[in-house]
Amino acid sequence: MSTQQQQIAFEKLVRPHFDRLYRLAWRLTGQKAEAEDLFQELLIKAYGKLDDLVKIDEPGSWLSRIMYNLFIDERRRFARRRMHTVEEGEMSGDGLDGLPGSDNPAWNHERLERMQKLDSALSALSDEHRMIVLLHDTEGYKLTEIQELIGIPVGTVKSRLHRARARLREILAADGTFS
């Protein structure tokens, strides 16, 4: 294959998965800049493995696993190099920027407040618990997909999910989030 043919083949294989991969990067890192960096690193790595990629039946899962492994391998680095926003306190802020609104300002305010509390509660979870609860309950990953991605038994995924939700319930109940 010529270089141009390689580029075309690569794009054809990876582009259909971009949105899901971008969201995964976000869920893993929790920060826009890191998510974009992780996404970029994935593409660079995947392009270097184009020979393998063309033989894969499910490129989406394969790409997700590479992204997850990249994140785990370099988690310390990702955690270290963040430039934080001083005002962010307990919440990242970025994740709430795109919160769709309604015509009712009071409802919007209440919703934003609840989201901020959720954001804060999520940040209190361990990386493993936060990741699993977001992938399952927010992104809609199946338990088996998480098992495949993270490489732990379904039973462990389930118990972590259960513990993560219990911890969220505990935190949110303490700050009066529930109606």
Partner 1 sequence: MQNKDMDKQDTEILALLKDYPMPQAPTGFYDQALVRATHEGSRRQRNRWLMTGFGGAVAAGLVLWMVGGFFLTAPDLPVADPAIPSITMTLEEPRTINLVFASAERLDSAMLTVRLPSGVEMSGFPGQREVTWQTSLNAGKNFLPLKLIATSPVGGEVYATLTHDNRGRTFRLTVDVS
Amino acid residing at 12: K
Tokens read off for 27:
């869920």
Q: Are 39 and 21 in contact (CB under 8 A)?
A: yes
Q: How far is the C-alpha of 7 from the C-alpha of 82, rounded, in Å?
A: 31
Q: Contact with partner 1 (CB under 8 A): which of 26, 62, 68, 141?
A: 26
Q: How far is the C-alpha of 32 from the C-alpha of 36, rounded, in Å?
A: 6
Q: Contact with partner 1 (CB under 8 A): which of 46, 91, 131, 161?
A: 46
Q: Which of 163, 140, 141, 160 is nearest to 152 (CA)?
A: 160
**Binding status of residue 77 toward partner 1 by CB under 8 A:** yes
Segment interacting with partner 1, rule: CB under 8 A, options 58-66, 69-77, 142-150, 153-161: 69-77
Sort 52 into a burial class: Cβ within 10 Å, 0-12 / 13-18 / 19+.
exposed
**Binding status of residue 115 toward partner 1 by CB under 8 A:** yes
Segment interacting with partner 1, rule: CB under 8 A, options 41-49, 58-66, 102-110, 149-157: 41-49
In the three-class reduction of DSSP (H, G, I as helix; E, B as strand; rest coil), residue 89 is classed as coil
**Binding status of residue 154 toward partner 1 by CB under 8 A:** no
Binding site for partner 1 (CB under 8 A): 6-7, 10-11, 14-15, 18-19, 22-23, 26, 32-34, 36-37, 39-41, 43-44, 46-48, 74, 76-77, 79-81, 83-87, 93-100, 111, 114-115, 118-119, 133-134, 137-138, 165, 168-169, 172-173, 177-179
